[in-house]
Chain A
Amino acid sequence: MTHDEIRKVHTTTWSGGPGCHGGCGVIAHIKNNRLIKIEGDPDHPMNRGRLCPRCLAMTQYVHHPERLTRPLKRAGKRGENKWQEISWDEAFDLIEEKFGSIRNDFGPESVVFSMGTGRDVGAWICMLAYAFGSPNVSFALSGNACYTPRITASEIVLGDYCIFDGGQWCAKGHDDPRYTVPECIVIWGYNIPASCPDNIFGHWAIDLMKKGSKLITIDPRLSWFASRSDKWLLIRPGTDGALAMGFLNIIIQEGLYDKDFGKKWTNAPHLIRKDTGKLLRESDLMPNGSSDNFAAWDVINKNIVIWGSHHAVYKTKVSEAALEGQFKIKLKDGKEINATTVWSEFCARAAEYPVEKVAEITWLKERDIIDAARLYAKSKPATIQWGLAIDSTPAITPTATAIAALWCITGNLGIPGGNVIARYAYNAVAYALPGAKGVIKRPSKEIDEKRIGYREYGLFREFIWRAQTDKVLEQIFSEDPYPVKGMWIQCCILIGGTGYDPARWIKALKKLDFTVVVDIFMTPTCQMADVVLPATTFLEKDSIRSWWVPLQTINKAMTVDECKSGIEINFELAKRFDPNFRWKTIYDLFDEILEPSGMTFKELQEKGWSIPPEGHPSAPYLRHEKGLLRQDGKPGFQKRSGKVELYSTLREEWGLEPMPCYEEPPFTPVSRPDLAEEYPLILSTSRRSPVYFLSEHRNIPWLREADPDPVLEIHPDTAKSMGVGQGEWVWVENWMGRCKLKAKVSPIVPRWMVMAAHGWWFPEKPGEEPSLYGMWESNINQLMLMGYNGKDGLGTITKHLLCKVYKVNGKG
């Protein structure tokens, strides 16, 4: 090959570059170590040649003149934007020394490792944190409110995570004969075409619409889907829980649920004690009974039968377990109690949400709620694709467990075209995650108990192995029970993107002794750092992508100056901090992670990608019937009871409401009419732009031209009442602060709500304080609050705050 020839490198998108959760196959055209073009790979099962604008703008991104290319050491005060270039060795030595002395003086938990949204950074930042000895890996958003809450809620109900089946496990996608096109797709709080969905390709939903899938869209905003739906439910933000309960009620009342599935695969027949309101356990009934075994009532033999959870079978022969009814039960101490079934209680709970009440809460029409419930329940298969909006409310878990119950009781769980259990392809898991044994292990229990949020939240002990973000911020100030002295911030625009109440975060970061930021460009967050390390895009690194399907490698196509990939940076420091670090090279680590697939990194790289075959526990369908979900090979689910839990054993244990319900969010016209008098509009934010990933990409000209300004979507009637015209700058204000946005006057939002663009800072403006890239002008996080989470530590207030809007005097 001559020097000038074009090399075409097949690789996988993930992380730096398009920024998204990736998985698309691309072909990078490289000439003289420069990217001259990138194209979608037509043979890749995820995107089949298609590619989003962020990826198509990679030439402007990779070769951007403002890229960080050398490690930088702070040369002035924090926020002065004065830097000195240093070598990688100097940078590593300095970090080793500074973090090392914090570890010696205060303990390893005094350094928090903070990341942005979960991309491949998740595995590698955990590797570094755990090698350092800190359990405090933090995702910087309030209430850890991105994806994690939905995953957790699904695991609470059915022991695994469930996603919309777009045919991704079939080699031929939705054309595969094993696949069934859904009759109905529910798009719940998701603007798929403009977002970077959680490891699905958003436009699959559009492919399926072309094949006849009907749509129900639940969104307060006229999204693209809303505009094309059979049913669009223009819901009041934050009331999705009430709607889900209303759906459950209609489906139960009208008998549209799958009785056989309920009886066989859920804990619907299990008995609940009327005296305590808790599940009746074998240990209540007999001296040596297990508290993990539950009781049911045999309607034919009229006696108690015991469900043996460990083997997921009844311990004695059962003719027919009662689904409903009241029973008198004698306990082991001779006491007689009344009991009823989980199903009876579940129905009673749903019945607390009659359609007229749901309509009042959600501001929807009764007719629309009923029609949507029927359309979903009568369609087979039907699937629900839920979005980030579901996570963005404090009562996320009660809401999401209600939604998960919908696909369970309608028999749409695990079937082609329904909601299917998603596992890491071939069970190749990089790091410790709930329900999976990752190669990168968590620190010991003794260390993990120091994790911020561990003591307070059962969920964080059992399922979410991150620090609770709001508590992290609190603890930086309180230093209770121990001080936080250092922070490692990687792939995270904490100031300007992820962090609500940025003024408080800045105060917190300035309080720390030593902070490192790893990123591709300078950001407002970098301005708070002592050392800034230049990271690579996905085109400049070798890595793996192990997240649902397919299993793939990321292949280095080129290099840019001295930039290093996240894994290389984390690996080098992990080796320095942990004398027992057991891998020699990153490729040893990759090989170990990929071991369950039977392929080495090299072998997978040659293949490009791989989808596990049918019959593998990481591939659908109906695995619960085939004994492919549980480790013991028995039919059923990975739950304590072995069943889908309509009544959660875990939440009962944690002292939280075990069944789904609705809770009004903290700052709405309903919960705070006093505040609504001064701030009459519902403030919703975090809408996705098709050309930006969150707070990135404003410096990419091809992308910026498509979405040049931070806009506030406001209804024409509302704008008119304030004398605001199209394109005028307005202040959006609440009791936290204000920011300046450009009015996009449009009927796509209702009269009572405004939708603010999020993640805005201006890379073209000065970086030093007070400008901080103009972040104080238009960043909506100034109106957002930390610390308003659900009882389980999850969820936040992103979609439903209150505000007022008024014109900026003069030109603004």
Chain B
Amino acid sequence: MSRKPEYGLLIDYEYCTGCYACQVACAQEYEWPAGMGGIRVIEIVEKLPNDKHYLKFMPIPTELCILCAGRTKEGKNPACVHHCMAACMKYGKIEELAKEINKPRMVLWAPKA
């Protein structure tokens, strides 16, 4: 069994606009070739009653995410969090981040790191 994760990413996906800044910031940070990277953005168009829809974007950390260990050691935010245009991502200790889930439409990721 894997070790218990200590750090994670809290994402307030209500405000994720699908701008891809996180995805490209990660590619730049680690010089990933196109098609690879530590975080990917997906678009979901949710069908609701009465011909209504909700447009949702979701950034998902991948198997390549290392939570920017080098950057965080220097006291910086991970590249994705630093550049998130909507400022809807937060890095921190999972236990602390869990306390910040004080509104709906949030997700706490504990990447493989």
Contact = CB atoms under 8 A, between A and B. Distances in A.
A714 to B, nearest CB: 13
B86 A51 contact: no
A39 B82 contact: yes
Nearest to B103: A210
A194 B85 CA distance: 10
B34 A210 contact: no
Contacts of A210: 15
Interface residues of B, number: 31
Contacts of A705: 34-35
A202 B15 CA distance: 13
B38 interface: no
Interface string B73-91: 0000000001111110000
Contacts of A207: 87
B62 interface: no
Contacts of B87: 50, 203, 206-207
Given A39-B82, A59-B28, A203-B86, A747 B19 contact: no
A746 B15 CA distance: 21
Given A227-B53, A702-B24, A702-B34, A194 B83 contact: no
Nearest to B32: A702
B47 interface: yes
B17 A194 contact: yes
B109 interface: no
A747 B54 CA distance: 10
Given A52-B19, A193-B17, A209-B15, A40 B82 contact: yes
Interface in A39-85: 39-40, 42, 49-53, 56-57, 59
Contacts of B20: 53, 690-691, 703, 706
A748 interface: yes
Nearest to A227: B55
Interface string B29-69: 10001110000010001010001011111000000000000
Contact of B17 (A38, A203, A701): A203
Contacts of A203: 17, 19, 85-87
A330 interface: no
Nearest to A703: B24
Interface string B15-26: 101111101110
A50 B21 contact: yes
A59 to B, nearest CB: 6
B11 interface: no
A203 B15 CA distance: 10
Interface in A203-256: 203, 206-207, 209-210, 222-224, 226-228
Nearest to B47: A747
Contacts of B45: 222, 746-748
A210 B17 CA distance: 13
Contact of B23 (A40, A53, A228): A53
A194 B19 contact: yes
B85 A193 contact: yes
A37 interface: yes
Contact of A53 (B15, B19, B29, B33): B19
Interface string A107-142: 000000000000000000000000000000000000
A226 B56 CA distance: 12
A437 interface: no
A765 interface: no
A39 B82 CA distance: 8
A226 B45 CA distance: 13
A704 interface: yes
Contacts of B82: 39-40, 42, 49-50
Nearest to B53: A747
A705 to B, nearest CB: 4
A38 B28 CA distance: 8
B27 interface: yes
Nearest to A57: B24
Given A701-B33, A705-B35, A747-B53, A224 B18 contact: yes
Nearest to B25: A56
Interface in A1-52: 37-40, 42, 49-52
Contacts of A227: 53-56
A224 B34 CA distance: 26
A646 to B, nearest CB: 36
8 contacts: A40-B83, A53-B21, A56-B24, A209-B15, A228-B14, A690-B17, A703-B24, A748-B53
The list of the 3 closest CB pairs from A to B, nearest first, reads: A193-B17, A701-B34, A53-B24
Given A702-B23, A748-B45, 17 more contacts: A37-B28, A40-B82, A42-B82, A50-B83, A51-B21, A53-B25, A56-B27, A193-B17, A193-B18, A194-B17, A203-B85, A206-B87, A222-B45, A224-B57, A702-B28, A706-B20, A746-B45
